[in-house]
Structure 1
Amino acid sequence: MDSLLDFEECVKDSPEFRLKLELFEADVSVLETQLDKVMKLCGKMVEAGQAYNAANQLFLAGLAELSTYHRKDGVISNCLNQFNQGLQEMVSFHTMLFDQTQRAISQQLTNLCSQFLPQLVETRREFVRIGDDLETAAVKSAQASRHKAADAERASHLLLATRKCYQHFALDYCLQLNTFKTQQRIDILNSVFSFVHAQFTFFHQGFDLLRDLEPTMKTMATQLSQFSADCAAKRKDLENTHLLVQQRDASGEPMVIPCPGSDDIIQGYLFKRSRRKTKTWKRSWFSIRDNQLLYRKSHKEEAVVLFEDLRLCAVKSLEHLDRRFCFELLSVQKCCALQADSEQLKQAWLSALQGSIDLAYRERADSQPKELPPPLCGGDSSPGPPAPRPSVLDVALRGPGNQRCCDCGEEEPRWASINLGVTVCIECSGIHRSLGVHLSKVRSLTLDSWEAEQLKLLCILGNNTVNRIYEARCSEEGRVKPRANSPRVEKETWIKEKYVEKRFVQNGSSDGARGGKGEAALRLYRAASAGDPVAMAAALAQGAEVNGSIAEETGRTALIGAAVGGSLLACEFLLLNGANVNHRDLRGQGALHAAATAGHTGQVCLLLKRGANQYAVDERGQDPLAIAVETANADIVTLLRMARMNEEMRDSEGVFGAMGDDETFQDIFRDFSDMASHDPERLSRRQFSRGGGEEEEEEEEEEEEEVVKGGAGETVNSRQHGVGKTS
């Protein structure tokens, strides 16, 4: 530690003290300059960081717009949305880092300077002034004449009083300098430590976030690789198609055969004669579909039905018109003259129309027509296609109270604690992460993958139920729950009191022989055996040890009780809260033994996924597989044998065996794990509106301005009705 000013030397006011005082003052001045520089640079850094965050927000907004542009492409949209949410959280972490940096550097150092330096300046001014007065009094005392006793005595008294006053101010000044010199070491170290701790927290949160994104990134990397291969194949196919079309003998005639997968029998451009203006022809796109002739007035409009039922129509060629390649379609109600671009196209349309008419009659004559699936837009009388699966977020927010953050009430939370069974906002999720995974395991509702049982737990428990447990004594303690706009420090204090200290949990002990944690452990075991997650959550909140063994139950834990009871939710809840999957009771049996004995296939599958030892033997020397064989449970025997085979194959492959498991085992494992059955997708068929064709045609003819005229001298006002008019 640096040497401080000596108070004894201060009283003496020796030259050595004066020299050391000047060095001390120069050191304080240099320190003040450096502190001011650090605070200014910190301010500039924070401003630059805030500008960076603002630019980052604009960039993420651009990504969001790009995501909406690709909303029809589910893969790209999902990828952009998930990464956008992850980056949004990273920007939030950046904002918290800059806030903590400003508090750590600027505020602490400003407090140091404002607390000591102004007072030091004022005290030094008085010290210098009294020093000058002492010098003057000493000179006057020395100049006093010995023959003037009264003047000499007065000068001596003045000198003595001035010296005492000087010593008082000098000692006070030295004390303030020494105090500042001592305090600045603590404040500077504390400031830098707080800044480094903020950096540590920021990078730790970023690491946790990216670690949560890792499974999604691996999945997307696989998809990207597949997309790259598909894109290369598609590009090659397009180049080949382009080359074929380019090399084809170009006759100038358009194609009329529809592309593969189209419902149209034939489609292409035809000229259609106006019914009122017989010399006016308009080029439109025609197609035959569902025994109807349709046409589009323009590419911006939907197809219009020209003839509803081709079975009621006749088709014939028109040879006596001046225009070439014409044919006519007649029905009882109306007729329509059409013109193709060539004789070949005319014959193709005649064949297609006649073939469609013949096909419609044959389908009608069929005694047992094929049953068609219901339409996509069918009414209540016909069932529609199966609704799409709701997302994890949609399912999670249906839980009781899950629409708002469990700890601050912010709307639409996007994170959840899977072991507590609550949804939280992004800020509270960061605080939950800091508690440690032994208390709260945070997972994103949009970025992470969820297993069915975890999602069910989140819906069964939910914010309302958990808050009734963890906030039961909140009013008794006189605490007010923070809100969404409350400071982070207030939220952090609340969450630690709520989940770490469990300050507001109702004491559940009774007056029996067992009390406290022992009784809570017994309640946990009974709730696990009964498959009641709410009662289990209450028991854990009241201090029950998740791995506590129950003497009355031969040393069984709650997980073994849940395996015996057969509740998948109870097993999953205990495993999420740190239950030891390989604990064994006094008879040497663990949860896997109990599940195999009880014949609960779902529990066996879940415990295997969580790392249960399938080779452990009980006091009879039987492992779970031997128990399943003894109880003749074929499903469990198959599952355990496949699991054992898969493990042996992986071990035999050495280090490369970890790259992937046996596909057959994975298929069987997935079949046992999946508890929900999905309806097969049903084909759909669009239904076109019937009728209205003639009225829309008349509308078109009234609004036509640009027409194609056939032959010289034809006028739009011609009213001649020639061939094609029915009698």
Structure 2
Amino acid sequence: MRWRKKGGCFSFKCVRSKKLKILGYFTFTYQYLIKVNDIKTKKGIELLQHLVEYYHAQTNYFQDGLKTIQHFGSYVADLSIKLQKIRQKQDEEKRRLTELRTLLRNAPGLDKEAMNTSGSSDRGTGYSLHQLQGDKQHGVTRTGHLLKKSEGKVRRVWQKRRCQVQAEGFLDICHADETKPPSKVNLLTCQIKLVPEDRRCFDLISYNRTYHFQAEDDADQRAWMSVLVNCKESALMRAFDDSTKTGGSKLNQSHVELQQAIIRYVLKLPGNDRCCDCNSQNDATWLSTNFGIIVCIECSGIHRDLGVHISRIQSLTLDNVGTSQLLLVRHMTNVLFNEIMEATLQQSSKPTPSSTMEERCEFIRAKYVERKFTLQTCEDERDLLSDLEHAVNNKDLHQLLQVFAEGVDLASALPTSEIGETALHLAVVREMGKSLHLVDFLVQNMPTQAIDKPTLHTPDASGSGFNTALHLCAIHDKPECMKLLLRSGADITLKNSQDKTPMAIAREQGNITCENLLHYALERQKSHFENVFTDWNLLHDEASTDFSDDETIIDDRVS
């Protein structure tokens, strides 16, 4: 029959059909994979293109920023220098006005016409911003009666007292019963100040109390103040002369009292009752004169081993410490010093009174030689020098110690100085009786050869160049600064651009005190440089009384 097919033909058709299906499946799969690959390739290329575009955008952004910095960089640097100079001028103007105000309040014999005079300090005449000066025609002795306000606990009354100013430097205040021994006040430990509210009154401020006096009239008040100032100055100069003639082994009583009053005061300052390094209170009477700190007897030996170029040790009880060596300790305290020198120190790492000498030695060397525990606040040397200049301009001992601890070069020229001034030059010129301790810190802690470093050849305000700090002392009549320089061995033979020594300048300008000091240096009489004349501003106790506060009440206020 024709409708039947053979079995082999049917099988062939089935196999063929399967092969076609499999081929179609693979063809579809390959097409799918090709499309997936195309999609991935396109996405990868687009991603890379976007990354390249982002990179170009960032490059353009930073290039624009760099161009901006280059464009404004020099302007910003110039602006910083100008702002620094403006700040210095403002500080200088504020300082002058403050000191002039203080002078006007305190100066004896200053009438209203003189107070209304303007601009005299700029012309070099008129007011003096140095120590208070008395009228020399009144001399150094005076006897008479003054009204003294008592310091009674119940009420304060005015009492008439006989007073006598002695040439030796003392004021005797008699009792109501003048047969009793008078109370003696050492003028070297006192300040004399005018009372603005009443021109007949003045105050005598000693280290332990304030005496309030009232004279008969304005003229009598000026006479008493002049005599007190003259007597104080005369006693101080005589004390210096006496110590020189006896080789420094003998001082008069008033000078000894001044030294002891300063020492008593500094030992009561914060932290000065114990050692600056180990907190020991065992014989904590040893002074590091170039840092103004108090240490114990154990730590003082280690300080000595470091050498005088690191720390200079004197005993407050065994050595005859001159007042020039007490300048820094009067203004520095152990607490202030450690705020800088131990800023990053873990207190558990600090030696204790029971620590061994090896532990103390390791710590003291790390603290003073390596300065490991100080906090770094400046990025580079220029920042340090800028802060150094700011510290001197603002009479800031704390900031001066900070830049010293960070390793500033004290002999480098200041960044805003056009004549190559160092910090020492600037400190000498700006010293007006309130920043002598800054000069002392610089002199004692800078390299010895840097003390004689001159300014540039460019003439300064005096019309000369190549001036050392000693030249500036002679030019500006700074005898107390000169003492500190001569004590440290400043060279008196150096000449400036006008071929003048400090001696020639002092003689030419009539600065007699400076000239005498330079003569003493030539004769190697160094004891003249061991004591300085400055207002110590020792703490006084308003509640203290003496035996002159008794009897004879005048009234609450004499009109």
**TM-score, scaled relative to structure 1:** 0.35
Higher relative contact order (CA 8 A, sep 6+): 2
**TM-score, scaled relative to structure 2:** 0.45
